Amino acid sequence: MYKHSIIPKPVSEYDLRLLRIFISVVEHGGFSSAANALGITRSTISVHMSNLETRMKLKLCLRGRGGFSLTEDGQAVYQAVLDLFATMDDFSLLIDSLGSELSGELIILCADQLDESKQHKMAQVIRKINDASPNLHLVLDGDSISNIEKSLLKDKAHIGVFPSYQQIEGLKYQPLFSESIYLCCGKQHPFFNQVDTAISEEILGQSAAIHPGINIDLAGKRQLEKLNLSAKSYQFDTRKAMILSGCYIGFMQQSFIQAELNRGEIRIIKPNSHHYQFKLSLVSKKTPREVKKVELLSDVFSQVFEL
């Protein structure tokens, strides 16, 4: 077993280069896959890994007929290197945040598609951000609620936009907007040409219905309890497709199906009794690493959505 690493302190740029190659080898599960990803030959990677092990005086990995695997020391070094690069990223972000002008990435994650009017508001948000801090690299993307929550808590995103029926410790929630969500059916569904009074609660409860795919508030849960939940769809566009098939009934925002309502392709069932509120919130970490960026986003969203 090697003893006493000879990597100088502080770690040199050459050491960092070798460590980045080591990470790539581990994450790609071997030399060949890493070579393709890095655009260098397998033999070059072998030389770099040999140099790294020599400089550390540690055996980091095993390779051969049994495939690639990390030694116990290799696993410890891999985790330490991940921590090292994360700390370096934190340092870069801190320095950026101390400048008078904001720069770097500004990440907004949304769990839901936005209807046309909300898309226009989001466009205003983007314009105001660009006017205020043109050097920011804006990232606007979609993801699941659980992934957005994790990204916010790990400072991998600055703001999330998603339903706040369930609140997570460490996150701050600000109501963004609320809209009624109604029970609907498509033109090919048996309920479409029936008047509401002809659709009893018993018949309604027997019809195949769509679960929204998330935990919702008490009023929404009471609505779902009445139905035969035999399918699931979280995103509104996929849920709308299921409703248009005529095979299912399900809850939708009126603003998201207004075009189909106007064309007579979807109808709302018993709107006075079968609805609940769809609430979106602006969500951020209570103690974010990049406070100025989060404050900018919060201020701009508040202006545009008149919070």
Residue 35 backbone dihedrals phi, psi, to 5 degrees: -60, -45
In angstroms, the CA 261 to CA 243 distance is 12
Q: Is the dihedral of CA 52, 87, 97, 305 positive or negative?
A: positive
Q: What pLDDT score was predicted for residue 3?
A: 52
> Could you read off the pLDDT of 109-165 as tens digits, one per residue?
998 777 788 889 999 999 999 998 998 999 999 898 999 999 999 999 999 999 887
Q: Band the pLDDT of 86: cuts 50, 70, 90.
A: confident
Q: What is the pLDDT of residue 172?
A: 95
* DSSP state for residue 170 in the 8-state scheme: T
Per-residue confidence (pLDDT) for residue 99, from 0 to 100: 61
CB atoms within 10 A of CB 125: 20
> pTM here?
0.65
pLDDT (tens digit, 9 = 90+) per residue, 21-52?
Answer: 999 989 988 888 888 888 888 889 889 888 88
**100-117 confidence digits (pLDDT tens):** 578 889 999 998 777 788
pLDDT bin (cut points 50, 70, 90) of residue 238 is: very high
- pLDDT given at position 5: 56
pLDDT at 284 over 50: yes
Look at residue 199 and tell me whether its pLDDT is greater than 80.
yes
DSSP 70-108: E-HHHHHHHHHHHHHHHHHHHHHHHHHHHSSS--EEEEE
Q: Which residues of 192-210 are buried (b: 16+ CB within 10 A; e: fewer)?
A: beeeeeebeeeebeebebb
What amino acid is encoded at 258 in this protein? Q
- pLDDT score of 161: 95
With a cut of 50, say whether residue 1 has pLDDT above it. Answer: no
Binned at pLDDT 50, 70 and 90, residue 94 comes out as: low
Q: Choose among 111, 302, 265, 279: nearest CA to 181.
A: 279
Q: What is the pLDDT of residue 4?
A: 54
Q: What is the pLDDT of residues 211-236, one digit of tens each?
A: 998 888 889 999 999 999 999 998 88
Lowest mean pLDDT among 13-27, 191-205, 231-245: 13-27
pLDDT at 91 over 60: yes
**Whether residue 6 has pLDDT greater than 60:** no
- 49-71 pLDDT, tens digit each: 888 888 888 899 888 777 788 99
Q: Distance (Å, rounded) from C-alpha 192 to C-alpha 268? A: 9
Full set of structural domains in the chain with CATH: 13-98 (1.10.10.10), 104-176+280-305 (3.40.190.10), 178-278 (3.40.190.290)
